């Protein structure tokens, strides 16, 4: 089989892109996983629509339905699970595992730097209450 191009070397399923290796050292399996226009390389995606918006991102791994779906230029990301890191667009060096893990991550990024979600870190918990004060035990001979 030839390397993937916009018109050759691709496996279609039901007329939809299913398996291809378009770009440099990329591998994609799943309905519309990856795309046939990216310039990014060393990406791997399995799952329907996984890494489907990638344009210039490199070294990404996406596994699961819509994992890293909206990633365009982010690199060195790993999203494992349904919609893991789905909304990441340009964030780098992120890892998310589990259904919906960091799905809306881009909302938590400012100036390209991750920031904590509202309420994080949680407020410190107060110290647990001290046990009730007990009188020292006395032997019967001490009690009068």
Percent of the chain with pLDDT over 90: 60
Q: Is the pTM of this model over 0.85?
A: no
User: Has residue 108 got a pLDDT over 50?
Assistant: no
Domain for residue 114, yes or no?
no
Domain for residue 123, yes or no?
no
> Which token pair is 59?
């070294």
User: Has residue 109 got a pLDDT over 50?
Assistant: no
Burial of 34 (0-12, 13-18, 19+ CB in 10 A): buried
Number of domains in the chain: 1
Domain that holds residue 33: 1-106
Residue 18 · residue 35 · CB < 8 Å: no
Residue 93 · residue 79 · CB < 8 Å: no
Give the separation between CA 68 and CA 80, rounded to whole angstroms: 9
Domain for residue 112, yes or no?
no
Domain for residue 136, yes or no?
no
Residue 104 pLDDT class (50, 70, 90 cuts): confident
């Amino acid at each position: 089989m030839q390397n993937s191009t916009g018109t050759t070397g691709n496996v279609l399923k039901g007329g939809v892109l299913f398996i291809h290796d378009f770009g440099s050292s990329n591998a994609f399996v799943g309905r519309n996983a990856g795309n046939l226009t990216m310039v990014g390389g060393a990406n791997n995606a399995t799952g329907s629509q996984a890494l489907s918006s990638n344009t210039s991102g490199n070294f990404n791994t996406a596994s699961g339905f819509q994992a890293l779906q909206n990633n365009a230029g982010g690199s060195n990301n790993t999203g494992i699970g349904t919609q893991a890191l789905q909304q990441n667009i340009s964030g780098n060096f992120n890892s998310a595992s589990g259904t919906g893990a960091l799905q809306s991550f881009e909302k938590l990024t400012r100036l390209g730097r991750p920031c904590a979600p509202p309420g994080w870190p949680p407020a410190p918990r107060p110290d647990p209450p001290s046990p009730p004060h007990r009188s020292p035990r006395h032997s019967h001979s001490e009690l009068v």
